[in-house]
Amino acid sequence: MKTPFKRPLFNGFLGAALLTVAVVLGLGAVPAYAASNAIQNVTASRQGAETVVQVNLAQPLSAAPNGFVIDQPARIVLDFPGVDSALDRQTVNFEQGNLRSVNVVQAQGRTRMVLNLRQSATYKTQLDGNRLLVLLNTTHEQAAATSAATGAPQAQTVHFADNLNTHQVALRAINFKRSTDGAGRVIVNLPNNQVGVDIHQQGQNIVVDFLKTSLPADLRRRLDVTDFATPVTSITTFQMGDNVRMVIQPNGDYEQSAYQADDQFVVELRRTQPNPNALVQGNGPGFHGQKLSLNFQNIDVRSLLQVFADFTHLNVVVSDSVTGNLTLRLKDVPWDQALQVILRAKGLGERKEGNVLWIAPRDEILAREKADLEAKKSLSALEPVKSETFQLNYQKAATVVAMLTGAAGGAQSGTTATPSPVLLPGLSSSAAPTSRILSPRGTVLADPRTNQIFVTDIPSKLEEVAQLIAKIDKPVRQVMIEARIVEASDQFGRSLGVKLGFLDARGIQGGVPGTNLVGGTYGTVSGDYLGVANQTNQPGSSAATLADSQFVNLPAFGLAGSLLAGAAPSSLGISLFNAAANRFINLELSAMEADGKGKIISSPRVITADLSKATIEQGTEIPYQQATSSGATAVTFKKAVLSLDVTPQITPDGNVIMNVEIHKDSPGASTAGVPSINTNTVTTQVQVENGGTVVLGGIYTSQEQNQTDKVPLLGDIPVLGNLFKNNSKMYNKNELMVFLTPKIVTNADLSH
């Protein structure tokens, strides 16, 4: 009798501790009976590339023993249930090929044989009468060594399972699912558990060959699963000779695992999120156990769970209702995921308490948990109540009472601020809330004067109340927020203008005032247009008379919103006239220029408790009159203030999250007696380290304006046209920056 060629692997987990001769064998439920069979002798020999271990027994075995392999250190473990050890020693040294020694230990109605190897190897067993032959295969290790020496490429095909079918069988279904943690699962329903499977890498793709199988026409397709957001992009399945080939196209970095439970084969690709600072990367989200590979054919489920108990050192309690056999093949799967596969395949569940793992059918576990809950509920209705007093140091008694009773809005009806105690009703009231911590029999008294509460309830609820108060009755941490608001301005303005007039006063004017320039032409200069008229004794030397004589009146003026707005320009007046001083040409040139820079720094500070809003304002309120509905007037105010509204939240890692609203307002121009407000506002939420400074934002404004007023046609004459036009220019820049610095206040800070 031969068992299938198998390579169950445990990759280096608990190797030395598990398989030393001093280990206690198993935690499974093996019945204690007197063994009728025994191991009498163990020998080893070389047969070509294989090492053969011969185990002689007193009686033939009914079936080959179950076993598993550990890679680090390299060992093969075989369990003989109901078999004693008749050897005179526990360790036998051989040094034959890959075999170094054999340990044989007897305990709890069975005997465990451990084969200590130089390097990991596959094995197969063969029964021959009273003998058990264990053939250690090292062909693949020798092939790898030969490949390394010759430089020839080494085959990458992994024989996941050997084919045991004698004829070609058809696959039943191919599906794809996305797990809750983002892994992609390719699920193939096999016709039976005897199908051989080979897996190898082909470039970036994963190729799976199902040996001696056929593919129905409806399954010969390509599945595009990109939209599932898993490491799997597509799945292509087609017939290739006597086999069916499946090509899985992945993307990104991933971890691959494959397993088979009875007639269901699964390839799972899980995205990896490596930590570059970690020395050893994990096994991906969800499962963190050491990876293993298993290959069992129709093994008893209880025996399989016993293997996991020995491997993990967990105390496993298996329900009597757990029965049946399982064909299981796993390849590079974390052991906790492998356990979930077994439980899911047999409809089982597990509950862990400490290092004890209880395994039973799901319905049985749920029924027991339900019975336990119902028992606790019945006990709470019969358990005697007790009273306990709690002194609150930081929380208000009314607030804690509202939490215990589930009062809406944080206050229970009937709770007052008077010093007298207030009795809060229980759930017997029709209006009682449902989110209550106390039991239906519990009541609570609050004394606002002493800030104490008195709770009467069953002991378990009193413990919950004590734990709740211990967590919430703590001093609230405080935060100081300092804001720096910097407002800078840069302004420039310039204006050039002219007045030009002509007066003919020959009929009323005589004399020759002024300075003779040339050829009987006289001139005079003064500060403005009116000034030269007075110096030359022009008739009617008044602003009104002279204005009537002007045919160009474009003096310099300041543009609205500039530094020159409302300013009086500087001027220069020139008058040209004849010798009789009765005909005049008057010219006035006006100009003004201003350049200004300014900086305003505001630094409001406020201190507040964690999760409490704080507001600080500084500025003025501008009064103005406003008509009422009766026709009278009333004085109304508008605020032009610097204000800071902030709500801080201290995070567990010591940072501060702030909801901030900053207003920097200033008075503006008035319209119909109603003042306007220039507003700068910043509203945001930021996270800042304790004591750090963050720039919340800035407001930058730039205003540039050029204006020209001129006489048509005459103002366009080169050079001379400047006498017939006015030029004004304005350039304003303003910038507002807000800096915010939070600091968590300690007791030491408050003492200063």
pLDDT in tens, 360-416: 998 988 888 888 888 887 877 788 889 999 999 988 898 899 888 877 444 333 333
> For 8, which DSSP code?
-
pLDDT above 60 (res 7):
no
Q: pLDDT at position 141, please?
A: 45
**Does the bond joining 73 to the residue before it have cis omega, within 30 degrees of 0?**
yes
For residue 747, give the H/E element and its range. Answer: helix 747-751
Higher pLDDT, 277 or 748: 748
Domain of 206, CATH number, reads 2.60.40.3470
Domain-located, residue 262: yes
Residues 571 and 610 in one domain: no
750: Cβ–Cβ under 8 A, 6 or more apart, which residues? 478
Q: pLDDT at position 415, please?
A: 37
Higher pLDDT, 499 or 52: 52
Segment among 45-59, 224-238, 258-272, 517-531 with least mean pLDDT:
517-531
Higher pLDDT, 631 or 134: 134
Q: pLDDT at position 186, please?
A: 94
Residues 147-173, mean pLDDT to the nearest whole number: 69
> For 2, which DSSP code?
B
Tokens 């006015």, located at residue: 726
Residues 604 and 721 in one domain: yes
pLDDT above 60 (res 282):
no
* Burial of 522 per CB tally in 10 Å (0-12, 13-18, 19+): buried
Q: What is the pLDDT of residues 476-506, one digit of tens each?
A: 888 888 888 787 888 888 888 887 776 655 5
Domain-located, residue 482: no
Domain-located, residue 8: no
Task: Map residue 711 onto helix, strand or coil.
Answer: coil
Q: Transcribe 618-673 into DSSP letters.
A: EEEEEEEEEE-TTS-EEEEEEEEEEEEEEEEEE-TTSEEEEEEEEEEEEEEEEETT
The b/e string for 703-724 (b: 16+ C-beta within 10 A; e otherwise) is eeeeeeebbeeebeeeeeeebb
pLDDT above 90 (res 545):
no
Domain-located, residue 374: no
Q: pLDDT at position 173, please?
A: 93
Residues 632 and 722 in one domain: yes
Residues 25-39, mean pLDDT to the nearest whole number: 52
Domain-located, residue 254: yes
- Number of helices (H) and strands (E) in the chain: give both, helices first: 10, 45
* Burial of 75 per CB tally in 10 Å (0-12, 13-18, 19+): buried
Q: pLDDT at position 749, please?
A: 60
What percentage of the chain has pLDDT greater than the value 70?
Answer: 81
Q: pLDDT at position 16, please?
A: 33
Residues 606 and 741 in one domain: yes
* Cα–Cα distance for residue pair 542/333, rounded to 1 Å: 108
Domain boundary among 573, 590, 607: 590
Q: What is the pLDDT of residues 554-613, one digit of tens each?
A: 787 777 767 677 777 878 788 877 767 777 788 888 887 778 787 777 787 888 888 888
Whether residue 339 contacts residue 308, with contact meaning beta carbons closer than 8 Å, is answered with yes
Phi/psi at 166 (5° precision): -95, -15
Whether residue 529 contacts residue 501, with contact meaning beta carbons closer than 8 Å, is answered with yes
Q: pLDDT at position 18, please?
A: 35
* Cα–Cα distance for residue pair 115/78, rounded to 1 Å: 8
Residues 173 and 115 in one domain: no
Q: What is the pLDDT of residues 224-271, one digit of tens each?
A: 999 898 999 999 999 998 999 999 999 988 888 888 888 889 998 888
The total of other beta-carbon atoms located within 10 Å of residue 459's CB is 13
Cα 171 to chain centroid distance, Å, stands at 42
Amino acid identity, residue 546? L
Domain that holds residue 249: 158-271
Residues 619-634, mean pLDDT to the nearest whole number: 80
The terminus-to-terminus CA distance of the chain in angstroms comes to 89
* Cα–Cα distance for residue pair 100/75, rounded to 1 Å: 10
Residues 604 and 740 in one domain: yes
Residues 109 and 185 in one domain: no
Whether residue 40 contacts residue 56, with contact meaning beta carbons closer than 8 Å, is answered with yes
200: Cβ–Cβ under 8 A, 6 or more apart, which residues? 155, 156, 157, 158, 207, 209
The b/e string for 164-190 (b: 16+ C-beta within 10 A; e otherwise) is eeeeebebeebebeeeeeebbbbebeb
**Considering all CA atoms of the chain, what is the largest pairwise distance in Å, rounded to the nearest integer?**
160
Q: pLDDT at position 188, please?
A: 94
Higher pLDDT, 640 or 173: 173
* Burial of 108 per CB tally in 10 Å (0-12, 13-18, 19+): middle
Domain of 82, CATH number, reads 2.60.40.3500
Q: pLDDT at position 709, please?
A: 85
Residues 731 and 606 in one domain: yes
Q: If pLDDT is split at 50, 70 and 90, which confidence band does 290 have?
A: confident
Q: pLDDT at position 541, please?
A: 66
pLDDT above 60 (res 281):
no
Task: Map residue 735 onto helix, strand or coil.
Answer: strand
Q: pLDDT at position 32, please?
A: 38
Residues 428-437, mean pLDDT to the nearest whole number: 53
Domain boundary among 271, 301, 319: 271
The total of other beta-carbon atoms located within 10 Å of residue 327's CB is 18
Please give the torsion angle defined by the CA atoms of residues 615, 620, 626 and 628, in that order, rounded to the nearest 10 degrees. 40
Whether residue 178 contacts residue 185, with contact meaning beta carbons closer than 8 Å, is answered with yes
Cα 194 to chain centroid distance, Å, stands at 46
Q: pLDDT at position 286, please?
A: 61
* Cα–Cα distance for residue pair 123/8, rounded to 1 Å: 9
Residues 563 and 635 in one domain: no
482: Cβ–Cβ under 8 A, 6 or more apart, which residues? 603, 604, 605, 740, 741, 742, 743
Domain of 324, CATH number, reads 3.55.50.30
Q: From its phi and psi, is residue 262 left (phi > 0), alpha (psi between -120 and 50) or beta?
A: left
Domain-located, residue 324: yes
The total of other beta-carbon atoms located within 10 Å of residue 385's CB is 15
Q: If pLDDT is split at 50, 70 and 90, which confidence band does 72 have?
A: low
Q: Transcribe 361-423 into DSSP letters.
A: EHHHHHHHHHHHHHHHHHHHHHSPPEEEEEE-SSS-HHHHHHHHHT-GGG--TT--SSSS-EE
Residues 630 and 678 in one domain: yes
Q: pLDDT at position 460, please?
A: 85
Q: Chain-wide mean pLDDT for the chain?
A: 78
Q: What is the pLDDT of residues 628-681, one digit of tens each?
A: 777 778 888 888 887 888 899 998 888 999 898 888 888 877 777 788 888 878
Domain-located, residue 247: yes
Please give the torsion angle defined by the CA atoms of residues 123, 126, 131 and 134, in that order, rounded to the nearest 10 degrees. -10
What percentage of the chain has pLDDT greater than the value 90?
Answer: 14
Residues 579 and 603 in one domain: no
pLDDT above 70 (res 423):
no
Q: If pLDDT is split at 50, 70 and 90, which confidence band does 273 have?
A: low
Q: pLDDT at position 466, please?
A: 92
Q: Which residues pair with 486 in a beta bridge?
A: 601, 737
User: Domain tally for the chain?
Assistant: 6
Residues 603 and 740 in one domain: yes
Q: pLDDT at position 513, please?
A: 66
Q: If pLDDT is split at 50, 70 and 90, which confidence band does 276 have?
A: very low
The total of other beta-carbon atoms located within 10 Å of residue 475's CB is 10
337-346, 421-430, 590-599: which has the highest mean pLDDT? 337-346
Domain-located, residue 148: no
Residue 658 in tokens: 């702030």
